[in-house]
Chain A
Amino acid sequence: MTGFATPLTGYLLVAALLFAIGLAGALTRRNAILVLIGIELMLNAANLNLIAFWRYLPHPEALTGMIFAIFSIAVAAAEAAVGLGLVISIHRHAHTTDLDEMNRMKG
């Protein structure tokens, strides 16, 4: 595995950082849209991992990691659309996007 300027660990660290930032955003933000953005960040951290592992592991010619990542991006896009739709309908319903107010599903 030579010829790469950056070792695999670099990518993994970036991805872990990205994931941590996303998680922190999703956990700390009150605004539902910002939480969704955090979740997108975590998804893309996972995508970055998929690409990195694909490239550094023995069979890069099989394109598996890239296909996986494209699927994941497509799903993330759909998820973002659904998520934003939900946020809009919640906003219409409750006139807020503050997640702490959205506690009516509690047991």
Chain B
Amino acid sequence: MFTPQIAESAASGILWLIPALPIVASGIIALFKQPMRKLSATLAIGSLSCSLLLSLFAFGHVLVGWDRGSAVRETVNFTWIQVGTAHVDLGWILDPLAAVMLVMVTFVGLLIFIYSIGYMAHDENYTRFFCFLSLFAGAMLGVVIANSLLLLFMCWELVGLTSYLLIGFWYQKPSASAAAKKAFLTTRIGDVFFLLGMVWLFAQTGTLLFYNAGMGSMEALKLGGLLATPSGLGLTAAGAIGLLIFAGAAGKSGQIPLHVWLPDAMEGPTPVSALIHAATMVAAGVYLIARVYPLMQAGAQVGGTTVALTVVTWIGATTAVFAALIAVAQNDIKRILAYSTVSQLGYMMAGLGMGGVAVGMFHLITHAFFKALLFMGAGSVIHGCHEEQDIRHMGGLKVEMLGTFIPYAIGMLALCGFPLFFSGFWSKDGILEAAQHWSVAKTPLYMLVFGALLTAFYMTRQVSYVFFGNWRGHGEPHESPSVMLMPLAILAFFAIFLGAIGTPAWPWFRAFLEGHTARFDLAGFGEPGLPALMATSSVVVLLGLVVAWWIYGNKPTRVEDPDALERAFPTIFTLLEGKFYIDELYGVTVIAFYAWWARVADWLDRRVWGGIVAGIAWLFREGAQLSRLFDLNWVDGGFDKGCEELANSGGLMSRIESGRVQMYLRLLALAVVLLTAILIWSSRG
């Protein structure tokens, strides 16, 4: 291990600009009118390009520091809220983990932005799309650089918001707005646990900063305190908080049982599926676990594991197999990829649980490239087939859409983990290797190998349906514009060569993340068990490819024909096609319960609380009635009487005012006579 370097530098000083630029761009685009299409796209792409340059600068800074032999971990912290002695701090961090993610997010994001110019060209809400996309990019970059769990959570929620907005981008479609709500609510369930974990962590350690010169919550001092505190469930506080945070990560990353939203999220535009629901946002959960890894790992013996990490592993492995099984029987081109994403996220989680940050993160990075590639390829196919998404209505596209087919095939082979030449092989192999050495159980290894077989199978099935066989759609398919194909080609390049930085012979990626030097050494392949494992996984992948090709490959079919698997195993196929009926299960359990509970609340509202309110209202009404009667009969009566008297006397007096001058004069004379009489009378007395 190198000595940690904590001092600030120019790179960490300007780090906040990386998320700020796209967010500001999004704010400006929000003010644009609909016809200002070119300007908004330019602004969004320009700001993200600046972010990419800054990210590369930051990455270079970390790289130089690493090259000189110091593990760069620079933080900039500041106090946000101060209440008495307690204070909430925010801050950002530059370390290898953040640097790698920054470059990946900005780079893939930029390619997808460019691709969107072509894909969304005919959409009237083009400016709104780029506004949301920019906001998403900024929020995601905020998640990446956050050095405070609170800042991370805020950006995390912003990311969730933009995900909601973009899934529901075509809100005129009821299915899209329903999917948006589903995604929002499902991830919120995880986030509630995340919030609880965060509050608990703050209560225990008094800080939400990850690293703060020895006083951060991910550093030895505070972790020791967390380990010494029991949580009351047979876990330490560290383990319990770790599990709560993992629940949040599971929601975002589509892990069982909160995976249901991710396939539905494919209702959004395809660039959104590529950017948010394949490459970046869903990876945020994995990134979060990598970020709080010291907490997850706290208390582990050498070679051992913790409860939290064991849970992460099992959930991840289960998700990997479960989603891969469902993907086998789907017919929507994007849904297959969506389940594949869920499955691969399971791999990442399992990799984190068993092998540590480097293993999980490496798969995250490679997956981001090839899954973005696959989604954008799928978008190109959908575009070329006149918005058709059902693979049964495609076929034979390898001729008409060669420029899409080649990158797509590369992405597909990378996802399958085709031996040696594709990045997916190396990253998946890293996870399998970690599973092989896991001390708790061997079952995850078998599950993940089975998952790899399924992955190869369903991807071959999809490619056979889409690109081989005969054309079964309507109209003529056409190739997409080059603005959509260029990003595919660039991503295809990385889908192949990115694996080079994480092979056993040159584990550069791991060394970079963990802060030790990397040496090229072919002996890395000779580690015990590794050759056998690589051979096994190669065989498994090839088996999957061959079997699927044998079943589906290059056969002319008709749209009405049932799937080959459906003919062989109708029950199982229906079960898989129905996604194990998890949605229906939730429908009759959770949702039915909530509906029942809502009805109870409604009844309580109407009958009980409503009755009380109505009773009180009745009391007041009656009181008012009494008061009215009192007013009418007493107060008003008095007033009426008084007024009547006044009017009468006024009438009486007004009779004197006859206007006849002589009458006045007479009265005057009478008064004078009377006065005189009184005077005489009184002077006599």
A residues adjacent to B (C-beta < 8 A):
23, 26-27, 35, 99-100, 102-107
Q: Mark B661-685, 1 if CB is under 8 A from A, else 0.
A: 1100110010000000000000000
Is B79 part of the contact surface with A, judged by Cβ < 8 Å?
no
From known contacts A23-B669, A27-B666, A27-B669, infer whether A103 and B654 are also in contact, taking CB-CB under 8 Å: no
What would 6 more interface pairs be, CB under 8 Å, given A26-B665, A27-B669, A103-B659? A27-B662, A27-B666, A35-B665, A99-B661, A103-B660, A104-B659
With a cutoff of 8 Å between Cβ atoms, the chain A residues found around residue B666 in the complex are 27
Q: CA of A102 to CA of B664 in the docked complex: distance in angstroms? A: 13
Docked-complex contact B661 and A102, CB < 8 angstroms: yes
Write the chain B residue with the least CB distance to A38.
Answer: B665
Docked-complex contact B657 and A107, CB < 8 angstroms: yes
Q: CA of A104 to CA of B659 in the docked complex: distance in angstroms? A: 6
With a cutoff of 8 Å between Cβ atoms, the chain A residues found around residue B653 in the complex are 107
Docked-complex contact B662 and A106, CB < 8 angstroms: no
With a cutoff of 8 Å between Cβ atoms, the chain A residues found around residue B657 in the complex are 105-107
Chain B nearest Cβ from A7, distance in angstroms: 20
With a cutoff of 8 Å between Cβ atoms, the chain A residues found around residue B654 in the complex are 106-107
| Residue of B657, B661, B669 most packed against chain A (CB within 10 A) | B661
Write the chain A residue with the least CB distance to B660.
Answer: A103
Is B301 part of the contact surface with A, judged by Cβ < 8 Å?
no
Q: How many pairs of residues, A versus B, come closer than 8 Å at their CB atoms? A: 34
With a cutoff of 8 Å between Cβ atoms, the chain B residues found around residue A106 in the complex are 654, 657-660
26 contacts between A and B (CB under 8 A): A26-B662, A26-B665, A27-B662, A27-B666, A27-B669, A35-B661, A35-B662, A35-B665, A99-B661, A100-B662, A102-B660, A102-B661, A103-B658, A103-B660, A104-B659, A105-B657, A106-B654, A106-B657, A106-B658, A106-B659, A106-B660, A107-B653, A107-B654, A107-B656, A107-B657, A107-B659
Q: CA of A106 to CA of B669 in the docked complex: distance in angstroms? A: 19
CB proximity to A under 8 Å, residues B624-666: 653-654, 656-662, 665-666
> Size class of B's contact patch?
10 to 19
B residues adjacent to A (C-beta < 8 A):
653-654, 656-662, 665-666, 669
With a cutoff of 8 Å between Cβ atoms, the chain A residues found around residue B661 in the complex are 35, 99, 102
Q: CA of A99 to CA of B658 in the docked complex: distance in angstroms? A: 12
From known contacts A106-B657, A107-B654, A107-B657, infer whether A99 and B662 are also in contact, taking CB-CB under 8 Å: yes
List the 6 shortest-distance A-B pairs measured between CB atoms, nearest first: A106-B659, A107-B657, A103-B659, A107-B654, A105-B659, A103-B660
With a cutoff of 8 Å between Cβ atoms, the chain A residues found around residue B669 in the complex are 23, 27
With a cutoff of 8 Å between Cβ atoms, the chain B residues found around residue A102 in the complex are 659-661
With a cutoff of 8 Å between Cβ atoms, the chain B residues found around residue A26 in the complex are 662, 665
Write the chain B residue with the least CB distance to A42.
Answer: B669
Chain B nearest Cβ from A86, distance in angstroms: 11
Q: CA of A102 to CA of B665 in the docked complex: distance in angstroms? A: 14
Docked-complex contact B665 and A27, CB < 8 angstroms: yes
With a cutoff of 8 Å between Cβ atoms, the chain B residues found around residue A105 in the complex are 657, 659
Q: CA of A100 to CA of B125 in the docked complex: distance in angstroms? A: 91
Q: CA of A107 to CA of B656 in the docked complex: distance in angstroms? A: 8
With a cutoff of 8 Å between Cβ atoms, the chain B residues found around residue A27 in the complex are 662, 665-666, 669
With a cutoff of 8 Å between Cβ atoms, the chain A residues found around residue B658 in the complex are 103, 106
Q: CA of A27 to CA of B661 in the docked complex: distance in angstroms? A: 9
With a cutoff of 8 Å between Cβ atoms, the chain A residues found around residue B662 in the complex are 26-27, 35, 99-100
With a cutoff of 8 Å between Cβ atoms, the chain B residues found around residue A107 in the complex are 653-654, 656-657, 659
| Residue of B653, B656, B657, B665 most packed against chain A (CB within 10 A) | B665
Chain B nearest Cβ from A83, distance in angstroms: 11
Docked-complex contact B665 and A100, CB < 8 angstroms: no
Q: CA of A35 to CA of B654 in the docked complex: distance in angstroms? A: 25
With a cutoff of 8 Å between Cβ atoms, the chain A residues found around residue B665 in the complex are 26-27, 35
Chain A nearest Cβ from B49, distance in angstroms: 93
Q: CA of A102 to CA of B659 in the docked complex: distance in angstroms? A: 7
Write the chain B residue with the least CB distance to A29.
Answer: B662
Q: CA of A35 to CA of B662 in the docked complex: distance in angstroms? A: 9
Q: CA of A96 to CA of B607 in the docked complex: distance in angstroms? A: 85
Q: CA of A102 to CA of B681 in the docked complex: distance in angstroms? A: 38
Q: CA of A27 to CA of B664 in the docked complex: distance in angstroms? A: 9
Chain A nearest Cβ from B449, distance in angstroms: 115
Chain B nearest Cβ from A94, distance in angstroms: 13
Chain A nearest Cβ from B220, distance in angstroms: 103
With a cutoff of 8 Å between Cβ atoms, the chain B residues found around residue A104 in the complex are 659
Q: CA of A100 to CA of B653 in the docked complex: distance in angstroms? A: 20
Write the chain B residue with the least CB distance to A104.
Answer: B659
Chain A nearest Cβ from B664, distance in angstroms: 10
Write the chain B residue with the least CB distance to A101.
Answer: B660
Chain B nearest Cβ from A37, distance in angstroms: 14
Write the chain A residue with the least CB distance to B655.
Answer: A107
With a cutoff of 8 Å between Cβ atoms, the chain B residues found around residue A35 in the complex are 661-662, 665
Q: CA of A44 to CA of B656 in the docked complex: distance in angstroms? A: 30
Q: CA of A77 to CA of B662 in the docked complex: distance in angstroms? A: 21
Write the chain B residue with the least CB distance to A105.
Answer: B659
Write the chain A residue with the least CB distance to B650.
Answer: A107
Q: CA of A105 to CA of B664 in the docked complex: distance in angstroms? A: 12
| Residue of A23, A103, A104, A107 most packed against chain B (CB within 10 A) | A107
Write the chain A residue with the least CB distance to B672.
Answer: A23
